[in-house]
Every structure is written in C-alpha cells, then in structure tokens.
Amino acid sequence: MSEQNPQKPRALGIFSGGLDSMLASLVLSRAGVAVEAITFETPFFGAARAQASAKHIGLPLRVAQVGPVHLEIVKQPDHGYGSNMNPCIDCHAFMFKHAGQVMATEGFDFLYSGEVLGQRPMSQNKQALATVAKISGFKDFILRPLSARKLPITPMEESGLVQRELLLDFSGRSRKPQMALAAELGVTDYPAPAGGCLLTEPGFSRRLKDLLEHDPSAGVAEVELLKHGRHLRLSPVAKLVVGRKEAENRALEELAGRLPPGKVLKLHAKGVPGPLGLYLGPAEGEDLMRAAAIVAGYGKAQPGDTVTVRVSGGRELQVEARHRRLAAPLLL
C-alpha cells in the first residue's frame, strides 16, 4: 500500500484505527491512490489503536500531538457537544484542517476519512458532514470513500483523480457491509466499533464538565488528572483527588509535578498507611482541613481518630479522620 509511484494521486487520511478508516484506506488504494494517514494524540484519545490498525494493513501513518490546541476546542466548541462532552463536529473539522495543512505543504492531492453517512445520527448526517468539510477550510479536498456515491460528487471524482464507480455507497448504522468488505479485503484484525475517545464516556465527561466549570483555564495536566483516583468536589474553589491503589498514588504523584507550581498540595497521613491526596484549592482554611480529614479517613485510621496529615511544603495538620460520606463532598 505504501509504494511510491509518481503517476498515482496521493491522499492523506485522518485515521482513527477503527474498521471504517481501515476500509476507506484500502478502498482508495484499490482505486489506484497512494494513501498515507495521520492520527492524533490528545489527553482524550491516544494513537495506539491507529498504529496497530495501520500496521495490520501496511498503511504509512504519522502521529500528530495536538493536546493543548484540541483542549481549547473541547472547552468551547462552536457546534456544541454530542451526548457527552464530545464536540465531534468541531473535532473532525479540526482534524481535517490539520491534515489539510500537511496536505498543502507535502503535496498530497486530497484528504479522506472513513466517515459513513448516517452511521452516527448527530455527527455523520449529510448536514454534519457538509459542515465539517466547510469549517475545516478544505471542503473541496475531502473524500469519504465509503459513502462517496451517496454524497455529492467531489472535485477529485469530477477531475478523474479517483473513479467514482470504484467508491462505495454505504450508509446507515448497520455494520454488515463493512464486515463483508473487511472479509473481502483480508482485514481480519480490527477494533470494536465504539471506544477510543474518553469524551464519549459519561463518567469521564462528568469530571471534565466539573473541571471546566470551576477551572476554565485548566490545561492538559489537569485533564490527565481526571483519569486517576477518586475525585471529590469540596466547594466551588476546592477539589480533592485520592488514590485508590498504589499505582494510582504513583500516577497522582507524577501528575502533581506537572501541574502549575502552587496549584496543588499533596496530603498524606503520617504514621498510618493511607493514600496520597492531591488537593487543589485555597492553601488555608476549611476546605483544606476537610480534605486532610478525608485523606486520613481513607487510610487505616479509625473515623474519629486524631491524625497528623503532612502537607507538601512541610506543614502538618492535626485532623479528626472522617469518612467521606460524613464529610459530604460531591463524588464526581
């Protein structure tokens, strides 16, 4: 699939590693196009799935690290969210825009994706596909090989760069045509349809929504923190994250070092085994004392015991260990 041939048109695909993006690449390749692909890495999704799928079909793949810029889109998407915190229209448009800039600098002829008309009612209907193409700024360079014959003809087909009759007419939610095509093209190893993007998960989305409401300038490290431990909202200005097991304590320790200086205090009960707590809030006062009491309560101290809690920076707080339920924070 990767052979260079100066006669062949070159296309760059946005590639999630899902079956549709694999098939779109293979269909174009079969139609005589030299395909390469790009995938994206952010705090919300990684590149591992795309890398495995690309390897399986011999597709040259590059990875773009776009965490901070993608996060700004997630914070304020012009076209809103799906059923969770997934801004799919703006996200897809961003991916095409990024890929379009690569196309322009590296001499690709057009872009493609594995989108299927009607597969996702909100983000892949005809209107949504047109909106994505328009706001990406590369409308006339986007081809969706799996649904092309259900969509308006593109300049690539009109000019003969790709023959329309070699493209497909898939639409709707059924996966059967894709599975049949996968068998025909020898694709035996592909991931399950859903998954791969934390923004579509209700639990993660709840935490993210809380973060963005209370800390609109949060960066990538604050988002990474959402993936570990119990998250307790103590007040509008204070949050506590408590490790649930040793591996999480280690992850929290590492992330504490990536947060802006002064943003987080580490809390640890002294003399009794217990978890690491990361406290984000005012460095004095009731919220901090409550956080320390909860961290003590998650350790081996009995509720009501007086415990010394060490605070990063050298301070020590004397608190009465409290069970989380009695301390009444909101569990995110």
Q: Please provide the DSSP assignment of 282-293 as one string.
A: -SSSHHHHHHHH
Q: In the complex with ligand SF4, which residue's Cβ is closer, 53 or 200?
A: 200
Taking CB under 6 A as the criterion, the residue among 24, 34, 91, 234 binding ligand SF4 is 91
**Among the listed residues 131, 127, 133, the one whose alpha carbon sits nearest the alpha carbon of residue 113:** 133
**Among the listed residues 85, 13, 77, 78, the one whose alpha carbon sits nearest the alpha carbon of residue 44:** 85
**Among the listed residues 40, 39, 43, the one whose alpha carbon sits nearest the alpha carbon of residue 220:** 43
Alpha-carbon distance 307 to 231, whole Å?
A: 22
Q: How far is the CB of 228 from ligand SF4 (least distance, A)?
A: 20
Under rule CB under 6 A, residue 45 binds ligand SF4: yes
Taking CB under 6 A as the criterion, the residue among 22, 27, 197, 211 binding ligand SF4 is 197
Q: How far is the CB of 112 from ligand SF4 (least distance, A)?
A: 16
Under a CB-based contact definition with an 8 Å cutoff, are residues 320 and 314 in contact? no
Q: How far is the CB of 196 from ligand SF4 (least distance, A)?
A: 7
Q: Which residue has the tokens 């506590």?
A: 240
Amino acid at 222: E
Under rule CB under 6 A, residue 50 binds ligand SF4: no
Site stretch for ligand SF4 (CB under 6 A), options 49-57, 107-115, 169-177, 192-200: 192-200
Cα torsion 66, 71, 77, 78 to 10°: value is -50
Total residue length of the chain = 332
Strand pairing category for 306-311 and 277-280 = unpaired
Q: In the complex with ligand SF4, which residue's Cβ is closer, 72 or 316?
A: 72
Site stretch for ligand SF4 (CB under 6 A), options 182-190, 196-204, 225-233, 258-266: 196-204
Alpha-carbon distance 64 to 45, whole Å?
A: 12
- Structure tokens given for 192: 């399950």
Under rule CB under 6 A, residue 84 binds ligand SF4: no
Under rule CB under 6 A, residue 98 binds ligand SF4: no
Site stretch for ligand SF4 (CB under 6 A), options 98-106, 124-132, 141-149, 197-205: 197-205
At 81 the three-state DSSP class reads: coil
Q: How far is the CB of 216 from ligand SF4 (least distance, A)?
A: 19
Cα within 13 Å of Cα(250), Cβ side: 3
Under rule CB under 6 A, residue 199 binds ligand SF4: yes
Q: How far is the CB of 45 from ligand SF4 (least distance, A)?
A: 5
Q: How far is the CB of 73 from ligand SF4 (least distance, A)?
A: 9
Residues that bind ligand SF4 (CB under 6 A): 45, 86-88, 91-92, 197, 199-200
